[in-house]
């Protein structure tokens, strides 16, 4: 895997939803090789550790990388203050992305900040994909049109019913699975959501890949800060590094 570190110009940054920013960076060397499910480490001024943000879209024609990030703590708050024309230090693409199955049917399940990392993969399936996008409330809903514009039938679920349908993404997933049996599920979001989706996938015998988010240190496999427990094919469990063994794992391998 070739990872690039360099400084790149910001083409656009805008507010997409409440505390959610849409960042476009011109960096053909990364956009040309980045795969769905991989991530980029962003250097934020004043913070020694880079912040991992998944590839939302990578456009090989324009060389533009789209990163969508929410404000969680001080690092992402500082990142939201950069502007058009500023330069940003990126390292990537990193990690193992989603395995895509051309011509097959897929269902994408995203929760909150777990929605942006699914877009690039969903685009490759187009109308062979359905997406279930969950948010707490109306002001946080984002990217539905981006999925739809690529032919993906996207359903929005909100906890309070203020947009789309009221309920959990897993409610909508259960309904969808009663109608059709996709070849693969992809999920990204909070751990309890991933656990619930993985359990439904196991019950229905559908392959499922999850993009895991763990706090990261080095981001490149050296410090073991980012480990999660996974099952070994030969039995027993092992600590896997989300940054270099993941961030995408087969759901059946993850010990939730
Ligand atoms: C593979 C991967 C992909 C991600 N993709 C996205 C994305 O597309 N959009 C998005 O909004 N967020 C994404 N995140 C989460 C994002 O990295 C954190 O929200 C961010 O690092 C928080 O930094 P902070 O300084 O604002 O928060 P703080 O809590 O102040 O951060 C302190 C430290 O913890 C780390 N950290 C905190 N929360 C997380 C977290 N959930 N995951 C990883 N490290 C964390 C920070 O990197 C930093 O080292 C991703 C995380 C991972 C691991
Ligand atoms: S963040 Fe250092 S090994 Fe994963």
CATH number at residue 71: 2.40.30.10
Average pLDDT over residues 144-148: 98
Q: Is the Cβ–Cβ distance between 214 and 232 less than 8 Å?
A: no
Average pLDDT over residues 52-66: 97
Same domain, 88 and 111: no
Average pLDDT over residues 89-111: 97
Q: Which two tokens mark 125?
A: 């399936």
Same domain, 22 and 80: yes
**What's the pTM value of the predicted model, to 2 decimals?**
0.96
Q: Is the Cβ–Cβ distance between 120 and 129 less than 8 Å?
A: no
216 within ligand 2 shell (Cβ under 6 A):
yes
Which residue among 33, 61, 94 closes a domain?
94
CATH number at residue 219: 2.10.240.10
Cα→Cα distances 49→41, 42, 45, Å: 9, 9, 10
- Counting ligands in written order, the one closest to the CA of 39 is 1
Which residue among 94, 127, 162 closes a domain?
94
Same domain, 15 and 106: no
Give the residue among 243, 134, 223 at the shortest CA–CA distance from 144. 134
Same domain, 127 and 164: yes
1 has a pLDDT exceeding 90: no
Domain containing 76 equals 4-94
Number of structural domains (the chain) is 3
Which residue among 39, 72, 94 closes a domain?
94
- Counting ligands in written order, the one closest to the CA of 54 is 1
227 within ligand 2 shell (Cβ under 6 A):
no
CATH number at residue 184: 3.40.50.80
């Amino acid at each position: 895997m070739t990872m690039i570190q360099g400084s790149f110009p910001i083409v656009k940054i805008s507010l997409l939803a409440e505390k959610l920013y849409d960042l476009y960076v011109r960096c053909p060397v990364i956009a040309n090789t980045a795969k769905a499910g991989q991530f980029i480490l962003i250097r934020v001024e004043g913070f020694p550790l880079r912040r991992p943000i998944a590839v939302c879209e990578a456009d090989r024609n324009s060389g533009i990388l789209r990163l969508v990030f929410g404000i969680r703590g001080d690092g992402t708050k500082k990142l939201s203050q950069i502007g058009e024309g500023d330069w940003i230090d990126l390292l990537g693409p990193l990690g193992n992305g989603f395995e895509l199955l051309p011509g097959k049917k897929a269902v994408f399940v995203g929760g909150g900040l777990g929605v942006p990392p699914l877009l690039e993969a969903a685009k490759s399936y187009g109308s062979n994909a359905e997406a279930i996008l969950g948010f707490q409330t109306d002001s946080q809903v984002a990217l539905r049109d981006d999925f739809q514009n690529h032919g993906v039938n996207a359903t929005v679920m909100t906890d309070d019913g203020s947009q789309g349908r009221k309920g959990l993404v897993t409610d909508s997933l259960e309904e969808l699975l009663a109608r059709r049996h996709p070849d693969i599920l992809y999920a990204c979001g909070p751990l309890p959501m991933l656990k619930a989706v993985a359990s439904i996938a196991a019950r229905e015998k559908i392959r499922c890949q999850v993009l895991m988010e763990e706090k990261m240190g080095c981001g490149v496999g050296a410090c073991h800060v980012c480990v999660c427990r996974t099952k070994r094919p030969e039995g027993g469990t092992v600590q896997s590094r989300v940054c270099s063994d993941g961030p995408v794992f087969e759901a059946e391998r993850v010990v939730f």
